[in-house]
């Protein structure tokens, strides 16, 4: 059993549909008012029926008060990292420190290339992701004097101006599944954000993937606790159980508590474009999971640091 001890976060994964134009924003407002911690949007710039995700995030941040926002996850091949760093920092400043950075190596290479982006092999995309993380943190680092120069295989900067510094240090959370990118997550990232739908063996797959992250973190001189573990989830509330997260709220509570205590997952992001589902998740599931995890940790002598 692995519990990395982070505080629990709950959020939604909202479709960034642009018809009707304000639907995704209104769902962000619902999540905010319901008391959730995060609202996230997928980033597929080549999908014409979707809003531009980072423009949507900025607008949704202006319509909400306390909730944090992020892409889930940002399409790096179509987002130059130095420019992305400034976009994130600007939104973070304007929102009072409520922006995080979900980041992905890319995929769907035909539409990426059609939009003018690079076509990369899996190995190239992971190298580019590592370079991007270093560049983004370098742009945010306004304490270091002088411009940022960087020479990588995919990105070259020659004295780029640093800044602005974000209002808080946004977490860099990676969507990752394969061994090499999981190792990159352990070396460089602040969080891991996979989707349950992409895990063939369900939550049991998290054990081996966690081991890869942990080993890479330790090899880089970090603690495994430096990497928050999150999970995009899908489910359906009903009166009877028909599978994992398919049943009444108390079943959801039991299953999410077990996922936290067994696999160390402390962020649960529910795919929801439905107000009633979001509110039920926020009001009946999230607080009960927090309380059960708190009691389990107290009985075992573990504490939960206040970290995002």
Tokens 């939604």 correspond to 12
For residues 180 and 198, the answer to whether their CB atoms sit within 8 Å is no
Q: What percent of the chain has pLDDT over 90?
A: 96
pLDDT at 2: 86
pLDDT at 213: 98
Listed residue (228, 258, 230, 223) closest to 244, CA to CA? 258
For residues 92 and 99, the answer to whether their CB atoms sit within 8 Å is yes
CA separation for the pair 50, 23 (Å, rounded): 11
For residues 8 and 290, the answer to whether their CB atoms sit within 8 Å is yes
Greatest alpha-carbon span in the chain = 61
pLDDT, one tens digit per residue, over 77-92 is 999 999 999 999 999 9
pLDDT at 179: 97
Whole-structure pTM value: 0.95
pLDDT for residue 115 is more than 80 = yes
pLDDT, one tens digit per residue, over 147-169 is 999 999 999 999 999 999 999 99
pLDDT, one tens digit per residue, over 2-32 is 899 999 999 999 999 999 999 999 999 999 9
Antiparallel, parallel or unpaired: β 148-151 and 156-160: antiparallel
pLDDT, one tens digit per residue, over 121-149 is 999 999 999 999 999 999 999 999 999 99
φ and ψ of 128, to 5 deg: -60, -40
pLDDT for residue 305 is more than 70 = no
Q: Using omega within 30 degrees of 0 as the cis cutoff, is the peptide bond preceding 69 cis?
A: no
pLDDT at 277: 98
pLDDT for residue 302 is more than 80 = no
Mean pLDDT of 189-209: 97
pLDDT at 303: 58
* Size (the chain), residues: 308
pLDDT at 242: 94
């Amino acid at each position: 059993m692995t519990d990395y001890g982070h505080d629990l976060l709950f959020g939604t994964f909202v479709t960034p549909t642009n018809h009707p134009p304000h639907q995704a924003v209104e769902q962000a407002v619902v999540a905010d008012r319901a008391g959730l911690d995060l609202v996230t949007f997928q980033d597929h710039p080549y999908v014409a029926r979707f809003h531009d995700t980072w423009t949507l995030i900025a607008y949704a941040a202006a319509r909400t008060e306390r909730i944090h926002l992020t892409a889930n996850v940002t399409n790096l091949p179509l987002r130059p990292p130095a420019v992305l760093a400034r976009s994130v920092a600007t939104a973070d400043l304007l929102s009072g420190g409520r922006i995080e950075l979900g980041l992905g190596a890319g995929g769907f290479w035909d539409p990426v290339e059609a939009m003018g982006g690079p076509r990369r092999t899996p190995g190239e995309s992971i190298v580019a992701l590592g370079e991007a993380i270093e560049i983004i943190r370098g742009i945010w680092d306004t304490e270091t004097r002088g411009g940022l120069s960087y020479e990588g295989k995919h990105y070259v900067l020659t004295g780029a101006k640093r800044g602005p510094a974000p209002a808080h240090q946004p977490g860099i959370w990676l969507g990752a599944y394969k061994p090499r990118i999981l190792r990159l997550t352990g070396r460089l990232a602040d969080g891991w954000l996979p989707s349950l739908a992409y895990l063939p063996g369900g939550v049991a797959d998290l054990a081996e993937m966690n081991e890869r992250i942990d080993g890479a973190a330790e090899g880089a001189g970090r603690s495994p606790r430096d990497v928050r573990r999150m999970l995009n989830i899908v489910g359906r509330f009903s009166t009877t159980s028909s599978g994992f997260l398919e049943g009444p709220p108390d079943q959801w509570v039991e299953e999410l508590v077990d996922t936290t205590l067994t696999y160390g997952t402390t962020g649960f992001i529910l795919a929801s474009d439905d107000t009633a589902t979001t509110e039920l998740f926020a009001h009946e599931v999230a607080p009960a999971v927090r309380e059960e995890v708190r009691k389990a940790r107290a009985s075992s002598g573990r504490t939960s640091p206040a970290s995002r």
